[in-house]
Structure 1
């Protein structure tokens, strides 16, 4: 799955990933390869990018939105900091 993480200032990440774990406004959820189309609001919290089954990177985000369509996830956030 292709993942793009965008802030108003810059593109934070772009590349192929195994999946992502996101802090939704009603609780955390996970998006994996070939996920059904989805649009969801994100709250403040930790986002985990699963590069493969053994490697992951972590970000703290300040809320935003995620769109999943055609095996591509676009995460639009107000602000994000790599942890």
Structure 2
């Protein structure tokens, strides 16, 4: 699955990933390879990029939206900091 994390200022992440865990407004959820199309609002919290089954990286986000379509997840956030 391809993941892009974008802020108004820059592209924070772009690449192939195993999955991503996101802080949705109704709770934490996970998107994996070949997920069904979805659009969801995000709240501030921790976004976890699952680079593989054994490694990950984390970002603190301020809120935004995620769109998943055609095995690509695009995360649009107001602000984010890599941890």
TM-score by length of 1: 0.99
Alignment correspondent of 1:77:
77
Q: How does 1:1-83 map to 2 (within 5 A)?
A: 1-83=1-83
Runs of 4+ in structure 1 deviating by more than 3 angstroms, as ranges, are none
For 1:15, what is the secondary structure of its paired residue?
Answer: strand
Could you say which structure has the higher strand fraction? 1
Task: Tell me the C-alpha RMSD between the 2 structures.
Answer: 0.3
Q: Deviations over 1:18-37 (max 9, x none)?
A: 00000000100000000000
Which stretches in structure 1 are left out of the alignment for 5+ residues? none
Deviation at 1:44, TM superposition (A): 0.5
Count of residues paired in the alignment: 83
The unaligned stretches of length 5 or more in structure 2 are none
Residue 17 of structure 1, CA deviation: 0.1
SS at match of 1:36: coil
